[in-house]
Amino acid sequence: MLRSTLLKLSEHKGFAKWVTSNGTTRGMARRFVAGETLDDAIAAARACNDAGMLVTLDYLGENVATTADAQRSRDAYLEMYERIAKEKLHANVSCKLTQLGLNLNTDFCQGLVMSIVEFAAHYDSFLRVDMEGSLYTQRTIDIVKNVRVRNPAVGTVIQSYLYRSETDVADLLAYGCRIRLCKGAYKELPEVAYPEKRDVDNNYVHLMQILLSSGFYHAIATHDPRMIAATIRHAAAQRISKDDFEFQMLYGIRADLQRRLVRDGYRVRIYIPYGTDWFPYFMRRLAERPANLGFLIRNFFQR
């Protein structure tokens, strides 16, 4: 119920204005967001690399209003690859397609993705296309497949809460696509997504097993110790090497677990978001852990 309210509030303009201008909530957001500039993200990436972790950088933003905004986002992504190379960081990049105009024009968006992937390949790097709400799932998969047949430096994300995900995994694997598996962070209807956490988790384990046994390099993105233990067990039982997959976690969440996995010899990549447009990302992080949040909502309604 609280998760659903928080995800609904993530679309509320008045709430967004209050959250982004309030000192306390800005401070809270800094736990999950490296800062507002690329320099902030680079510093956070350096700290992760120094601690033995890989990184994926994300320039925050979604649902742009104009194609010019989408082109500016594309330029920010190109700059990221240049900086990553210049700073000799072990990092790649993640992006959201509605930040690159998917909500405006699919062909236009695909063109921007193609140009970013070509740039990524030039730097011997990779672009991970994040998965957004289910309204965009098919178009995201289509774009990733279309781009991938021309350049393999692209992969995407599958969400275990969607009923369709096993079919999508098979479709993407037929293209040799690298997949990040996550549970899913958006507000979805029971017509398209499992409402019960138990079913989301069971599907996560099922999909994880398909991915790890596929022979391609995939990413298991979760902070859930049970999902991580299931992954480690499956890899050991199937004799899948620790170098043949990676765990991924979000910046600011379960640093203890991140360190433990590195210590145990697993590859761990941290998703580091930065930028000024952090409100929806922050709200999704709060929705994942609503227990801490009563005070935020109380403060808003008591203004």
Among all residues, which ones are annotated catalytic?
Answer: 130, 180
Task: Check binding of 70 to ligand FAD (CB under 6 A).
Answer: no
Contacts of 91 (CB under 8 A, 6+ apart): 45, 49, 54, 55, 56, 57, 84, 125
Q: How many CB atoms lie within 10 A of CB 165?
A: 24
Task: Check binding of 45 to ligand FAD (CB under 6 A).
Answer: no
Structure tokens at 247: 């765990």
Task: Mark residues 229-268: x for contact with ligand FAD by CB under 6 A, - for none.
Answer: -------------------xxx--xx--------------
Measured from the CB atom, the residue of 110 and 248 that comes closer to ligand FAD is 248
User: Minimum Å distance from CB 179 to ligand FAD?
Assistant: 11
CA pair distance 294, 273, nearest whole angstrom: 25
User: Minimum Å distance from CB 251 to ligand FAD?
Assistant: 9
From the list 4-12, 79-87, 117-125, 180-188, the region that binds ligand FAD by CB under 6 A is: 180-188
The one among 38, 97, 130, 143 contacting ligand FAD by CB under 6 A: 130
Please list every residue from 138 through 157 that binds ligand FAD, using CB under 6 A.
157
CB 127 within 8 A of CB 95: yes
Measured from the CB atom, the residue of 159 and 203 that comes closer to ligand FAD is 159
Q: Is the dihedral of CA 13, 15, 21, 27 positive or negative?
A: negative
Task: Check binding of 90 to ligand FAD (CB under 6 A).
Answer: no
Task: Check binding of 199 to ligand FAD (CB under 6 A).
Answer: no
DSSP state of 136: G
Q: Rounded to a whole number, what is the largest CA-CA distance in the chain?
A: 57
* Phi, psi dihedral angles at 288 (to 5 degrees): -70, -20
Task: Check binding of 103 to ligand FAD (CB under 6 A).
Answer: no
Q: Which of 50, 57, 49, 102 is nearest to 79 (CA)?
A: 57
Measured from the CB atom, the residue of 218 and 285 that comes closer to ligand FAD is 285
88 burial via Cβ count (<10 Å: 0-12, 13-18, 19+): exposed
Strands annotated E in 121-177: 127-129, 154-159
The one among 7, 221, 228, 230 contacting ligand FAD by CB under 6 A: 221
The one among 36, 69, 75, 288 contacting ligand FAD by CB under 6 A: 288
Task: Check binding of 55 to ligand FAD (CB under 6 A).
Answer: no
DSSP state of 265: T
User: Minimum Å distance from CB 160 to ligand FAD?
Assistant: 8
Measured from the CB atom, the residue of 126 and 271 that comes closer to ligand FAD is 271
Measured from the CB atom, the residue of 98 and 110 that comes closer to ligand FAD is 98
Contacts of 194 (CB under 8 A, 6+ apart): 161, 163, 200, 203
Task: Check binding of 164 to ligand FAD (CB under 6 A).
Answer: no
What is the binding site for ligand FAD (CB under 6 A)?
A: 130-131, 157, 159, 182-186, 221-224, 227, 248-250, 253-254, 271, 285, 288-289
